[in-house]
Amino acid sequence: MTRLLHISASPRGQASESLSLAEAYVAAVAGRPDVEVDHWDLWDGSLPGFGPDAAAAKMAVFAGEEPEGDAAAAWQRAIAAFTRLDAADAYLLSVPMWNGSIPYVLKQLIDVVSQPGMLFGFDPEAGYSGLLAGKKAVLVLTSAVYGEGRPTSFGIDFQRPYLEWWLDWAGVEDVTTIEFRPNLVTDQVDLVRAAAFDELREAALKL
């Protein structure tokens, strides 16, 4: 059984281009008896925060200590979020561009689950090592203004490089990135969207 975790970062529901595209991927695999799909809507209230108590817990773990009190409770919430992430064999991330980067709720997830001994290991001489090796990911990235080859007055992309870096840092090496960035070329939107749908269906065959 392959467990697919769809992490959706748009709050726009059915009006979301990123979610609509990702649903095409899910539809292509959902009927398979060997695939189980979990949809994590990051706006559903289940994502814990990562404030002072959690930060204290993280530094305690880094120091080889056990978090205590409120820090321990915050750490358990972070562990629960990571456990849901780690239970998946593959990830589908549907992500709109916000202000050149990613929605803050996705950065919150990344900050919650990126913990020592869970998502990464660390050696004082060798540095970081990702602990999610063997998993794969599909990134569905959208933007309304930014697009490759456009002037910087249309934005700069901190969305794709950050997410690809984070996945690589976590040990996920098999990453497929599919973009939908029609911008203001309204007479080609349908063609660009159709091409993105085709890419997603093709990617689904490789799951």
Mean pLDDT, residues 14-31 taken together: 94
Contact 57, 71 (CB under 8 A): yes
What's the pLDDT at 182? 84
pTM: predicted TM-score of the whole model, two decimal places: 0.94
User: Can you give the residue ranges of every domain in the chain?
Assistant: 2-204
Pick one of 3.40.640.10, 3.40.50.10490, 3.40.50.360, 1.10.3720.10 as the CATH number of 2-204: 3.40.50.360
Task: Quick: pLDDT tens for 92-142.
Answer: 999 999 999 999 999 999 999 999 999 999 999 999 999 999 999 999 999
> Judging by DSSP bridges, how do beta strands 2-8 and 127-130 pair with one another?
unpaired
Contact 115, 71 (CB under 8 A): no
CA distances to 90, 138, 139, 167 from 176, in Å = 11, 5, 6, 11
